[in-house]
Structure 1
Amino acid sequence: MTDQFRLGGDLTVDRLGFGAMRLLQGAPGKPARDPESARAVLRRAVELGVNHIDTAHFYRSEDGSVRANALIREALSPYQDALVIATKVGPVFGPDGPGQGTAADLRPQVEANLESLGMDRLDLVYLRIGMAEPPHGESLAERFEVLAALREEGLIRHLGISNVDAGHLAEARTIAPVAAVQNNFHIADRDEMAVLDACTQAGIAFVPFFPLGGGRADINDPRLAKVAERHGATVHQVALAWLLALSPVALAIPGTGSVAHLEENLTARSITLTEEDLANLPQPPRASAVVREGGS
């Protein structure tokens, strides 16, 4: 089993988890996936030791027929005690597409997640701000204060923030403890390295929401392929192993709608990258990186 991490100091999670967004459809414009196949992926993930699932109430197929939270509840409820389900709030969706919600939108969104997941308390709730890129210079205080109050009420166990910069992280930590940060980050896009460094120093989980590029970036590189060949692995498996080797606080949540692809991703647990591997990969990690020891 891969290394574990104590999320928020009290929830032990496997560092290789599962992202639920890809359960809904293969790509934008594609048909919705068969719900039973999606439920089979979730059940298999848990069978294989995954105990950290990332979702959102607003994760749904484009036609609205398949919703991630409903699939999770149908497949996995009653939930195992060790299972940690993370969700996110903030965006709102109207006729013109997604936009950024206000502080007033957050309680209804938290309540919608509680209802759709069938939970009395959410394990981890991220405040997602901005849209494509972190909104530099924008305050998240008013919105994060709402979530902090809901945490005090007992509706949320731990808080996280998403699509943020280091300034947002510092601001949020003056309001309430931050258990996790979720940003766009993968081997071909390391713009958020400063945020990862801040998380590493503070012992806060760093959870890339596109650990394999998310279909928006090509992570294939001849140097990555060479390391993969040396390990008898795929490029994606090595990219996941690299992420886990980068920092002890880094978690990965690759998503898929295929049991076979799920099993392939989880094989990354058994890959231990050497110093030579890391030196040969594109844009080698900085000095703060650590090599994961112990293999699986």
Structure 2
Amino acid sequence: MRVLVTGGAGFIGSHYVRSLLSGAYAGYEQAHVTVLDKLTYAGSTANLPMTHPRLTLVRGDVCDRRPLLDLLPGHDAVVHFAAESHVDRSIHDASLFARTNVVGTQNLLDCCVRTGVRKVVHVSTDEVYGSIDEGSWTEDHPLEPNSPYAASKAGADLMARAYGRTHGLDVSVTRCSNNYGPHQHPEKLLPHFVTRLLDGLQVPLYGDGRHVREWIHVDDHCRAVQLVLDKGVPGAAYNIAGVARSNEDMTRDLLRLCGADWSRVRRVEDRKGHDRRYAVDDSLIRDTLGFTPRVPLEAGLAGLVDWYRAHRAWWQPLTRTAQEVR
């Protein structure tokens, strides 16, 4: 079994790769993993077991056609994590998001068709649905993205659908809620807050703080992706839900875990087009593929803080880029 993982040096992709190589997924204990990663600011070889005998790292861009056509033959499946993913950066400059997330996905899918790779899992986001005041989205809800990032991921989802319908490519889509866990770049909300609190600094809370997101540990997300790779129906999309928390409540949790109080919170102007609430119905992946999250939020957050406290050498060099778009 040979699996190509795009974006495999990033936060979620590298966790998936480490799990795959460690034998965490039944039937893939001897799988060879090829990581294709551009190694931008968000990806690092420090996230990968570089000396593992079943790992091959190729530095490359999903938008480049020739390297993909050379690399893909012989692989049984592709798990596509590669994406520009930070909403604030997409508001500042959307062009790279359109190129990587839409054109890059189209290029990858086209190269899979041309080289005979039949199975693809495209990893997307719940943000493609927009914002919902009450209830939750099912997979057949219209895509109504509100940020340039979410729009670029929705475009990629539609490319995946089109390549399945037009070319018969076995491609499934996952739409997951917010992830957290070790190795996440400190530009993202939770590690941004945790690293600043550990450094004795204030944290910026957007608007009134009542924006609601669902949170899932990266290990649970990656197990769900693997279930879709193993058992997912071609052409289907699968929502992956987490535990709902307002940003304000999540801030309180992190303050407590870091031994800080509310004086460390600085209210800042709300983000442009900030979606109020996300909520996905994950009945499909639970009922048909048997997915159940394992990491309780409270334990997961405690583990998150412990990891960043113990790995300053990993995140301190990254904090400068985390400040550039704040």
For the aligned pair, the TM-score class normalised by the smaller chain equals 0.3 to 0.5
Name the structure with the higher helix share. 2
State the TM-score, normalized to the length of structure 2.
0.32
State the TM-score, normalized to the length of structure 1.
0.34
